[in-house]
């Protein structure tokens, strides 16, 4: 059984220019992901999947990974994550895929290891990280996790809304080949806090990440 850390990446992005190689605490962002995956013993190999080989110039010396070049058409806004995964699986023989984006620099290696163990053990076919929100939530104009016809519950008593954290997905090759999805019908949901799950999607998100690093709340080691 071969478990591969899969990092789809590109030099540029729409909302945060050059996001994946932008310095966070003086270190290009992609290093946080590569370094964390290097700490997960169950990951046999780490692959950066990008169209530009020059992205490797921003990875710190000594980190273990390999580069697989992907078609430039997968860098467009029209390309979906399914398109990228499908192309990757044509080029790599991974049995278990540990899909990790560069946008969550504070994700812990122990979190990744737990998700990998749950999938490789056979107990689950897929796993992903999520945030649990215990607040009064609405969806399409209606309350989602409480009722207006009943007394308002305490927030600690309401059912949490589960939000995919969108940075880490672990799944079996056959799951994607059968369904075209990275989440199976029986996934393991790994709840993480908002600090660990902080995702960089906008310039404001990046500024928050800089504050976290610059105040010493997180240090890449």
40 burial (CB, 10 Å; 0-12 / 13-18 / 19+) is buried
Encoded tokens for 146: 């409480």
What does the pLDDT look like over 44-84, one tens digit per residue?
999 999 999 999 999 999 999 999 999 999 999 899 999 99
For the 3-130+163-214 domain, the top CATH level (class) is alpha beta
Three-state secondary structure readout of 34-49 = HHHHHCCCCCCEEEEE
Distance CA 59, CA 33 (A): 10
Q: Report which of residues 14 and 63 the model is more confident about.
A: 63
Among 144, 142, 162, 47, smallest CA distance to 93 is for: 47
Distance CA 105, CA 197 (A): 8
Q: pTM of the full predicted structure?
A: 0.93
Beta partners for residue 143, in sequence order: 138
Q: Domain ranges in the chain?
A: 3-130+163-214
Ranking 106-110, 151-155, 170-174 by mean pLDDT, the lowest is 151-155
């Amino acid at each position: 059984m071969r478990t591969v850390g899969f990092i789809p990446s590109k030099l540029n992005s729409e909302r945060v220019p050059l996001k994946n190689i932008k310095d966070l605490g003086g270190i290009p962002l992609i290093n946080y992901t590569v370094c964390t995956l290097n700490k997960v013993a169950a990951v046999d190999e780490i692959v950066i999947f990008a169209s530009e080989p020059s992205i490797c110039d921003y990875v710190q010396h000594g980190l273990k990974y390999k580069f697989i070049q992907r078609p430039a058409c997968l860098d467009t806004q029209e390309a979906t994550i399914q398109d990228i995964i499908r192309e990757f699986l044509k080029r790599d023989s991974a049995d278990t895929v540990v899909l990790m984006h560069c946008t969550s620099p504070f994700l812990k290696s122990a979190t990744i290891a737990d998700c990998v163990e749950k999938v490789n053990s056979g107990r689950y076919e897929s796993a992903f990280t999520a945030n649990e929100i215990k607040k009064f939530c609405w969806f399409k104009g209606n309350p989602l996790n409480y009722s207006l016809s009943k007394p308002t519950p305490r927030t600690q008593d309401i059912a949490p809304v589960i939000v995919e954290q969108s940075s880490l997905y672990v799944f079996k090759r056959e799951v994607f080949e059968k369904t075209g999805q990275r989440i199976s019908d029986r996934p393991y949901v790994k709840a993480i806090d908002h600090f660990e799950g902080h995702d960089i999607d906008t310039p404001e998100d990046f500024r928050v990440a800089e504050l976290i690093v610059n105040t010493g709340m997180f240090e890449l080691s």
